[in-house]
Amino acid sequence: MRSEAITQLHEVRELLASIQEPSSIRRAAELEGAAEKIASCAADLADVEVPRDLQLRLALAVRALRDAQKAARAHRRNPLTRPLSHARFALNMGKAGGWIHGTLRILDPENTPPSPYDEDEANAG
């Protein structure tokens, strides 16, 4: 069960990584089912003890994905707030991707690619 859950989290991470462009808000329909998949993985990983806050990390990823979907709906519905919808969508997609990536780095470090932000932190110092 644990390996299946980790595989599903990798699939969701790859989906989120593919949605990085400003026009990606139009691809929000591809996110259907991603939040449910993460919630299912959280249930499968309920017995994992390290990290202690695994359930919280996955719950925050689900919430960020749902907020991104909400921003995409607002983008379609109200043309006047589209710039704000783009920003909210990008912020929430980044949050969801970060929570999932951080979780996978702990659960499956060998198969998780490095984050592009790790290079930025190394160059900042």
Domain count, the chain: 1
Residue 53 belongs to a domain: yes
Q: pLDDT digits over 42-65, tens only?
A: 999 988 887 788 999 999 999 999
Instruction: Name the DSSP letter for residue 87.
Output: H
d(CA 25, CA 27): 5
Determine what percent of the chain falls in helix, strand and coil, rounding each to the nearest 5. 80, 0, 20
Residue 59 belongs to a domain: yes
Residue 124 belongs to a domain: no
What is the per-residue pLDDT for 125? 55
Question: What range does the domain containing 98 cover?
Answer: 2-115
Task: Name the pTM for this structure.
Answer: 0.87
In degrees, to the nearest 5, what angle opens at C-alpha 58 toward C-alphas 43 and 60? 135
d(CA 27, CA 96): 16
